[in-house]
Amino acid sequence: MLAQGGVQILGKFSPTGSPSGREASRISLVVSVTRRGYWVRGRFGIGRLARAMAIQEETHRASAMHGGRLVAKRLKAHGVSKLFTLSGGHLFSIFDGCREEGIDIVDVRHEQSAGFAAEGWAKATRQLGVCAVTAGPGVTNVMSALGSALQNGSPLVALGGRAPAMRWGQGSLQEIDHVPFVSPLTRLAVTAGAPAEVSGLVDQAIAAAVGPPSGPAFVDFPLDVVFQESDVDADGPVVVPDAAAAADGSERAIELLRGAERPVIMAGTGLYWAHGEHALRALAEELRVPVFLNGLGRGCMPADHELYYSRARGKGLEEADVALVAGVPMDFRLGFGGSFGEETKIVVLDSARTDRRPPREPEVELYGGIAATLDALREGAGGGPGPDHSAWVEALREAEVHQRAGEREDLADDRAPLHPLRLYSELQQVLDRNAVVIGDGGDFVSFAGRVIETYEPGCWMDPGPFGCLGAGPGYALAAKLANPDRQVCLLLGDGAFGFSGMEFDTLVRHGVPVVAVMGNNGIWALEKHPMESLYGYSVAAELQPECRYDQVVQALGGHAEFVERPSDLKPALQRAFESGKPALVNVLTDPEVVYPRKSNLA
């Protein structure tokens, strides 16, 4: 419980340090806040004076630091500059440590957003993202973000509060063992057992998060452990791993690429994490191989590059004789392997082997450094005689042009409420080439994925295969903090707004001028249209029509626009970007427009 000048923790003390035992004496530990850190004051039973003196001597050593300061020192050593969080008493010592170490504390309105902001930081920077959440419901609230980070391979460390070890099992506030239910969603999940373990566990969590394979890691800190002091050295050097070496056994892949008449490269999120964009471009240009991208891979080849295609992907994958699939699983987005032709020979390249087998057996599997392996494939397959790919490249370009021509009518559609493609046609005219665009929605964002062009790595984010709505505001917060001089545009469905709309308060409080553009059709379109197609009716698929979400944002201190007609949209977008505030452009879109979905989601 909280006491003036500190946090009072009641428990038992025994010679072994356990919280129970007949010979244990009752103690009252008061963890007092000072500018130097936290120190422990105690009232002990008779017969424990010697032990009390030993504790007092240890905690007052000049070199000792409380556990939260040890956490912060290791984070700082690894280059962490932001901690995304929501306040909780279990975290006070970590907050104090971050304050002392110069790590910015960015607080949000829901722990889910703290987790998504940490993942957004990782996506925007290709560096470690870190969040801290309080015990119990704080940890359960961040679970969706951990699931997203796991499926996206996002390097993220979540720090959790935990009920005190000395009272464990007696019903402390928010007492629950997090590790069993967090473990399936993380590369590592552990609990600190003593202050001396804190620094090492933080290092282990970071190593697990950055991989390979990269993903989330979790450490929780019992209240009595993280408030106590230790004289362990927290200033040790950080071990920087060597660049990942090329995969072994690439000879067969080189042979296939060298002899291919209709090769393609399908690359995704793993390529982005591996900083593989330069190697990808060099390989594609030297071998004249068409490139398709998804996920965070978008932008790793500029949208206006002669060898990049988006609309012709179906034709390209189906007719390819050899497909190099780099950093992307053959999941529902690739038809579980069915997007490729029956005779296509598939070469899988990724940073590490996982427990999940490809649903379609590849001709070759390569696991190692993605960038280094792409370089090795280029050196092995390039420079010599081989088939001329000119006709193949031109055939795909013709298909690309034809598909784009078919979109012109919708892009210019003058209906009100708006066709989503008309909205994106207007938006493209005000976006900078290096704008960061974030998608948080269903069909509305699917339309964006078709037509929004991405020219640089890290300029497109969406929830990825986990598909969790509500990720967008956290992503946008982090993306703008990481790129303060760039436009950051959040594409938001009206359904998605309900998950984390209060994070506009977060954006206002921290002065983060993200511009959100909402497609407001008053329905759950991704569910309503398919259900009506299957059953002739839909249920649980309606939202308030024409709801004024913009007024909510305005009430929170942001800039707001409400758009009903196409002619009003571009001026509204310009005003929003020029406002210098977090903004929502609430655009009414036509609920009758059905996204032409082709992929099998399951």
- For the domain that residue 272 is a member of, what is the CATH number? 3.40.50.1220
Interval 431-455 mean pLDDT: 97
Band (243; pLDDT cuts 50, 70, 90): confident
583 — alpha (psi -120 to 50), left (phi > 0) or beta? beta
Closest CA to 157 of 207, 70, 218: 218
138 membership: H or E segment, kind and range: helix 137-141
**Residue 259: strand, helix, or coil:** helix
Distance CA 322, CA 586 (A): 45
Residue 244 lies in a domain: no
Query: How far from 50 is each of 225, 321, 490, CA to CA, in Å?
Result: 21, 78, 61
Residue 355 is predicted with a pLDDT of 84
Which are the contacts of 251, defined by CB distance < 8 A and separation ≥ 6? Answer: 380
pLDDT band at 599 (very low <50, low <70, confident <90, very high): low
The count of domains in the chain is 4
- Provide the pLDDT for residue 339: 96
Beta bridge partners of 586: 518, 562
The pLDDT > 70 percentage for the chain reads 89
Tokens of 578: 């020029």
Cβ count within 10 A of residue 71: 31
Q: In Å, what is the CA distance from 112 to each residue of 190, 272, 323, 469, 502? A: 20, 24, 37, 11, 12
Residue in 281, 313, 598, 310 with CA at minimum distance from that of residue 453: 310
The answer to whether residue 243 is domain-embedded is no
DSSP 8-state symbol, 519 = E
Residue 4 per-residue DSSP state: T
Same domain, 505 and 572: yes
Distance CA 564, CA 543 (A): 17
CA–CA separation, 502 and 141 (whole Å): 15
Q: pLDDT for 264-308, tens place per residue? A: 999 999 999 999 999 999 999 999 999 999 999 999 999 999 999
Amino acid at 393: V
Quick one: average pLDDT of 338-348?
97
Output DSSP code: residue 419: P
Q: Average pLDDT in the 358-367 region?
A: 95
Give pLDDT tens digits for 364-396: 999 999 999 999 999 999 987 889 999 999 999
Say if CB 41 and CB 33 are below 8 A apart. no
* H-run or E-run covering 8: strand 6-13
Quick one: 469 and 358 in the same domain?
Answer: no
The pLDDT assigned to 28 comes to 38
Instruction: Name the token pair of 323.
Output: 């497909």
CATH number of the domain within which 159 lies = 3.40.50.970
- pLDDT exceeding 90 applies to what percent of the chain? 85
Report pLDDT digits (tens) over 461-509.
999 999 999 999 999 999 999 999 999 999 999 999 999 999 999 999 9
- Of 370, 397, 424, the residue at which a domain comes to its end is 397
Q: Which helix (H) or strand (E) holds 106?
A: strand 104-107
388 in the same domain as 410: no
Q: Taking all residues of the chain, what is their mean pLDDT, rounded to a whole number?
A: 90
pLDDT at position 35 is: 32
| 410 has a pLDDT exceeding 80 | yes
419: in domain: yes
Instruction: Assign 3-state DSSP to the chain and report helix, strand, coil percentages, each to 5.
Output: 40, 20, 40
Q: Is residue 425 classed exposed, middle or buried when 0-12, 13-18 and 19+ CB atoms within 10 A define those classes?
A: buried
Residue 1 tokens read as 């419980």
Residue 473 lies in a domain: yes
Tokens of 475: 């992503």
Strands (E), 498-553: 515-520
**pLDDT tier at 2, thresholds 50, 70, 90:** very low
State the virtual CA torsion across 401, 405, 408, 409 in degrees, nearest 10.
-160
Cβ neighbours for 519, distance < 8 A, ≥ 6 positions apart: 420, 423, 441, 444, 447, 491, 492, 493, 494, 587, 589
Cβ atoms of 101 and 56 closer than 8 Å: no
CA geometry: angle at 236 spanning 234 and 240, to 5°?
Answer: 130
Looking at the predicted structure, is the pLDDT value of residue 594 above 60?
yes
Asked if the model's pLDDT at residue 100 lies above 80, the reply is yes
Asked which of 21-35, 124-138, 169-183 is least confident by mean pLDDT, the reply is 21-35
Question: Is position 370 within any domain?
Answer: yes
Contacts of 298 (CB under 8 A, 6+ apart): 454, 459, 460
Q: Are residues 338 and 360 in the same domain?
A: yes
| Cα distance from N-terminal residue to C-terminal residue, the chain | 48
Indicate whether 444 and 518 sit together in one domain: yes
Report the 10 Å Cβ neighbour count for 193: 12
User: 86 and 21 share a domain?
Assistant: no
Regarding whether 70 and 51 lie in a shared domain, the answer is: no
Q: Which of 360, 376, 397 is the last residue of a domain?
A: 397
Q: Each residue of 517-534: pLDDT tens digit?
A: 999 999 999 999 999 999
Confidence class for position 20, pLDDT limits 50, 70, 90: very low
In a domain, 430, yes or no: yes
Please indicate, yes or no, if residue 560 is contained in any of the structural domains. Answer: yes
Tokens encoding 33? 């806040």
**Inter-residue contact 41 to 199 (CB < 8 Å):** no
Classify the C-alpha dihedral 379-384-385-391 as positive or negative: positive
Residue 95 lies in a domain: yes
Secondary structure class of 157 (helix, strand, coil): strand
Domain identity same for 177 and 163: yes
In one letter, which amino acid is 423? L
Shared domain check, 105 and 194: yes
What would the mean pLDDT of 141-160 be, rounded to a whole number?
98
What tokens were used for 109?
């309105």
Q: Is 411 or 28 the better-scoring residue by pLDDT?
A: 411
Asked whether the predicted pLDDT for residue 33 surpasses 50, the reply is no
Distances (CA, A) of 381 to 247, 262, 263, 301: 15, 14, 12, 20
215 lies in the same domain as 280: no
Q: Could you give the 3-state DSSP secondary structure of residue 34?
A: coil
Place of tokens 């082997």: 353
Looking at the structure, do residues 387 and 492 belong to the same domain, yes or no? Answer: no
- 47-71 pLDDT, tens digit per residue, is 343 354 345 555 445 578 999 999 9
Tokens of 470: 């509500």
So what's the pLDDT on residue 448?
97
Return the residue matching tokens 């497909």. Answer: 323
Residues 269 and 210 in one domain: no
Q: What is the pLDDT of residues 298-335, one digit of tens each?
A: 999 999 999 999 999 999 999 999 999 999 999 999 99
Q: Where in the sequence is the domain holding 278, given as residue range(s)?
A: 251-397
Residues 6+ apart with CB under 8 A from 307: 284, 285, 288, 289, 290, 291, 301, 393
**Beta bridge partner(s), residue 576:** none
User: Could you tell me the CA-to-CA distances from 132 to 107, 115, 350, 549 in Å, in that order?
Assistant: 10, 8, 30, 29
As a whole number of angstroms, the distance between CA 584 and CA 232 comes to 49
Chain length of the chain: 602
| Cβ atoms of 440 and 490 closer than 8 Å | yes
Domain boundary among 200, 230, 260: 230
